[in-house]
A and B are shown apart, each in its own frame.
Chain A
Amino acid sequence: MTKQEALGKYLLRLADTNLILGQRLAEWCGTGPFLEEDLAMTNISLDLFGTAEALLKYACEVEGKGRTADELTFRRPEREFTNILLVEQPNVDFGATILRQLFVDAFDYYHYSELSKSSDPIIAGVAAKASKETTYHLRHSESWVIRLGDGTEESHQRMQNALNELWRFTDEQFEMNEVDAMLIEERIAVDLAPIKAKWLEKVIPVLSEATLQIPENTFMQRGGREGKHSEHFGFLLAEMHYIPRAYPDATW
């Protein structure tokens, strides 16, 4: 693998995680629990799409085959997406959506802050912008997880159910392979081990304040890096790809 190929894979991986979570959050458009949260979730969705677009454009440039960000978004089959499994998990209810968001926001918060020092100026720039956005996203998801976890009997139970379901997808965020090894050496990518330590330091007290119990002996799920997805992903793509498949000549 050349450095250029590694960079291409790295950019796609980052972009896909943003893109797919953006798509999941967009599913709340018009169906949020109330107007303010409906807007909050679609706002966050748009932030994620913005980050994804910037990364996809750069990925196209690195790839050098003349593909566009739209083609990468709408013309790739399931196995070519390398997002983490966590972000493709269904919304279920507002509680599960906001817990999933806390896990990603806390990761993004520490990750982008490090990545903004990347030796690659485009990655550093995208990370610096996303870092500001994520600071707000984290504040939002953190306060909701505490409010709902330490809320009514029903809200607590829903949050606990969500945690039991989603905890097994959290470790994949910190997975590294030869792509990371190569790019860390070039100071383009960042080592995710220290990010994991910070993430745990952030997330565990929030869950504890929310009176939630982290499930024990969880078998951590993985596979996104190799394009192996959960059963939910195909349905998500089918919806996301519907318009460009039905109307191949459609433009923005």
Chain B
Amino acid sequence: MTRATPPSSRRDGFSVGFYKLLFMAPTILVLALVVAGPLLYSLWLSLHEYIITYGMGDLIWFENYTLMMSDEFAGVSWVTMKLTVIVVVLEFLIAFGLALLLNQPWLKMRNFYLVVLMLPILMTPVAVALMFRLMFNPNLGIINWVLAQVGIPEQGWFGDPDLALATVVFVDIWNETSLMLIMLYAGLKSLPQDPVEAARIDGASSWQILWHVTLPMLKPVILVTLLIRMITALKSYDLIYMLTQGGPGKVTETISFYAYRLGFRFLDIGQAAAVSFILLAAVVALTVLLLRIMKEN
């Protein structure tokens, strides 16, 4: 269906095309100058030998990218994958469970729960991280003290190689689950009620309704939620920087933090740019894959 183009204006004599350009120009200009330009520049940087203190060196093409083969890169990739999959899966399960509970028609105090559970979404990640650093502090933190009251021995949390990643996951869940909860709850609310009613009249149990009616109808919302959360999880940087700086050792070092460390601690801009592009490629590939899955559904 083609819509009639709005009539061109007569009063000032400019064509619609002129206005289109006028309205779009600021957006295009900003995105080209501030996003596309630096992105291409960074690609160019990644093809050079470039140590900050020496300035840009020789064009070495893809040599910086050979870093991909290193054990170190394999390590940070593994951490990034683990962290992304764990937080996305756990946050999804928690958020979906809570959304289902909040959606029960008989529920009292629904608005109270909604207001509280949505609270973390507005919190500055840096402040959230700091809050939990204080509470998880092995000697001074309240959490070890509370655990001691019930007989659980003192833990090192962020300093313990076996616990650090799990503790980061906990903080991430605290901080990020609200976003998924809001999206899934809004999705549940927007579903038509007739199929559910029909299934109920036909004698389906609550579980059957959830599995055979609600879930299939909610599939598009679920996929979009997972896609968005997966991309933001791969991008995330703030929490790692604030909580562990990738440590202890490298057990919580993600690709983003690794690129930061290469560029701004080891001052190797060329390698840092190369690593960041590998991450970008992974994000793009994942997005394309998920979009394809969505289309098939």
Q: Do A and B bind each other?
A: no
Which residues of A line the B interface, CB within 8 A?
A: none
Which residues of B line the A interface, CB within 8 A?
A: none
